[in-house]
């Protein structure tokens, strides 16, 4: 079951200039939308939000949003976090207001547990998927899904169908999708071996040594 994270938000104007001013004042622009309510523009304290994100992930984290001017907190999930392609800082956050009695789809990350015998034998663990789509009531959404690799041998793989979801959670991704596998490491040719394979090309028209020339004469 996912843990709820609380954060406060104030109402803001929607102009582009306001968004630029927020970046310099230590705030992040955000929006809140959802069924049965109008979309509103918000401002979040950057330090508080980044601290929350360091302990939780987007998608499956249930957020208790204290919106300025609203008497009750709003249950929501983070639908999108936009980052600067240059600095990597958070530029914008989208919140989706939800109902606790209605199922929703969300992405959850993986938590790999155990030690793979294939890796111990010299193989390399390859991650083919980083997250998974699931459906559940908000309170039942896991923040991560455990993947046990303790029996993963060299040359074998774990697919979505091999995973066990917690009670009340349904995995909606393709069952044949590969989550991870253990492969044989690629061996790079040794430089000395490459040099040994290089042979001098025969020079056409090269003159015979002087001794051979005198014998022929």
Q: Is 109 found in the same domain as 93?
A: no
Mean pLDDT of 114-124: 95
Q: Is 147 helix (H, G, I), strand (E, B) or coil?
A: strand
Sign for the CA dihedral angle at 6, 12, 14, 19 comes to negative
pLDDT tens per residue, range 59-115: 667 889 999 988 899 999 888 899 889 888 889 999 999 999 999 988 888 999 999
Find out whether 67 and 44 touch, Cβ atoms under 8 Å: no
**What total number of domains does the chain contain?**
2
CATH code assigned at 149: 2.170.120.20
Q: What is the pLDDT of residue 87?
A: 86
Does a structural domain hold residue 206? Answer: no
For residues 62 and 81, what is the distance between their CA atoms, to the nearest angstrom?
15
For residues 65 and 106, what is the distance between their CA atoms, to the nearest angstrom?
18
Q: Is 28 helix (H, G, I), strand (E, B) or coil?
A: strand
Confidence of residue 217 (pLDDT cuts 50, 70, 90): very low
Find out whether 118 and 140 touch, Cβ atoms under 8 Å: no
| Whether pTM exceeds 0.75 | no
Q: Is 94 found in the same domain as 22?
A: yes
């Amino acid at each position: 079951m996912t843990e709820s994270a609380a954060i406060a938000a104030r109402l803001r104007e929607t102009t582009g200039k306001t968004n630029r001013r927020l970046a310099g004042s230590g705030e992040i622009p955000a929006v809140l939308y959802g069924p049965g309510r109008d979309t509103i523009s918000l401002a979040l304290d950057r330090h508080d939000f980044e601290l929350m994100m360091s302990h939780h992930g987007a998608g499956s984290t249930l957020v208790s949003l204290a919106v300025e001017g609203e008497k009750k907190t709003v249950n929501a999930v983070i639908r999108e976090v936009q980052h600067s392609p240059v600095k990597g800082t958070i530029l914008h956050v989208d919140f989706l207001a939800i109902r606790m009695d209605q199922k929703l789809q969300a992405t959850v990350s993986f938590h790999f547990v155990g030690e793979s015998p294939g890796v111990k034998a010299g193989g390399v663990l390859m991650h083919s998927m980083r997250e998974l789509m699931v459906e559940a009531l908000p309170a039942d959404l896991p923040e991560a899904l455990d993947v046990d690799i303790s029996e993963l041998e060299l040359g074998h793989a774990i697919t979505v169908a091999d995973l066990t979801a917690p009670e009340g959670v349904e995995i909606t991704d393709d069952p044949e999708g590969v989550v991870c596998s253990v492969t044989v490491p690629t061996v790079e040719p040794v430089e000395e071996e490459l040099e040994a394979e290089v042979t001098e090309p025969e020079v056409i028209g090269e003159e015979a040594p002087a001794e051979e020339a005198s014998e022929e004469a």
